[in-house]
Structure 1
Amino acid sequence: MAIKLYKGDLPPGLDFGSSVAVDTETLGLVPRRDKLCLVQLSAGDGNAHLVQLDRANYDAPNLKALFANEAVTKIFHYARFDVAVIRHYLGVDVTPLYCTKIASKLTRTYTDRHGLKDLVKELLGIELNKQQQSSDWGAHMLSDAQKQYAAQDVLYLHELKSRLDQMLAREGREAVARACFDFIPTRAALDLSGWTEEDVFAH
């Protein structure tokens, strides 16, 4: 496994193929308050590319172009949060996309454990180390432990998608999953507009 760290943006010409795994690290869990610090990406080849963003201007044209590229599916775990912070700080609507957490909830109805660690352990037999989950992602220099943690959050998403696609097909839930994925940018827009907790579909 190789982990490559870039400052400010992806290098030009980097090709992730038809799908790219994506995750983000922020200073907290409130998108409008807690700035986007790091974006992790993987082509599913065992390598991770980390982009440490310039929080003064977020000028990352290559990264933005990748997120807006309709020919590349972006694979997330809990896309709702990542799509919101990307929209807020980079000004890009991420499409098309796939969320392994939603796919898990639609297929693994026998459990309430849909976190990435639980999903990777059950479906892939791999134990993730989450010790750096609450570390300072705004630090000027990231530690090796932070880089390893950030990388592991994207390295397995392609394989998870493959397994979950099989389960969605088995249960006949592919269409509803696709509809859920397509709604995520709207759900993220509602979050950013202040409707985080309120169910706008409720009576």
Structure 2
Amino acid sequence: MASFFHVYCPEGVSSKYRLIVFDDSKEAFIPLTEFYHDQVNRISESSVIAYLNVLEPFFYWLKYQSRYKARKVWWDDESEAVKEAVRQYLLDQMHCKIRGRDGHEGVYLTSKSSKTVQLFLSAIKGFYKTMIRLKKYSHANPLIDLEFKESVSEQPGERGNRPRMPKAAGTEEPLSYRKQTDSYFKIINEEWVPEIIGDWDLPYRYA
């Protein structure tokens, strides 16, 4: 199956890029190439390659199957268009269930969900952070919950209607940040959600 792919620059070839990502037409895809070179200076190369491996199928899908208001979505499109494309990818290609919540959307894993959902969400969020930092994407990060900071800062303290005391004071129960993230798409369940089976006689087959 055709997809985007990456190759290392052969020895003896002069290029500013150590690795180049190509699209399915074998044309260099600079956004992902720049993403690799930015991230490899921040995290391990194996982690960046893992990111590329989940992003390349998405960008191939984006090129041919994405839709927003009856048009194709481009990687540098407006935030809402990219957000909708990611939502459809999670539903159609990664077999997740999605439910809207205040300011974000909850992602529920099912028995058919890809094992790389969390990796994909981290990768695509990091990709847009990089593009914004490199001034190659001019919109707000579509993978960020813009209301997150306000919701966290408004967490009430134990004393009621008063700001929380500093953590060092030790006078209040610490906040759990396990589920608190600024991601727009938040994985709600750690394990897959069983789906209802339509076979009414299933319980009796092995009785």
Please indicate the TM-score interval, normalised by the length of the shorter structure.
under 0.3
Between structures 1 and 2, the one with greater helix share = 1
The structure with the largest alpha-carbon Rg is: 2
Compute the TM-score of the two structures, normalised by the length of structure 2.
0.25
Between structures 1 and 2, the one with greater strand share = 1
Compute the TM-score of the two structures, normalised by the length of structure 1.
0.26
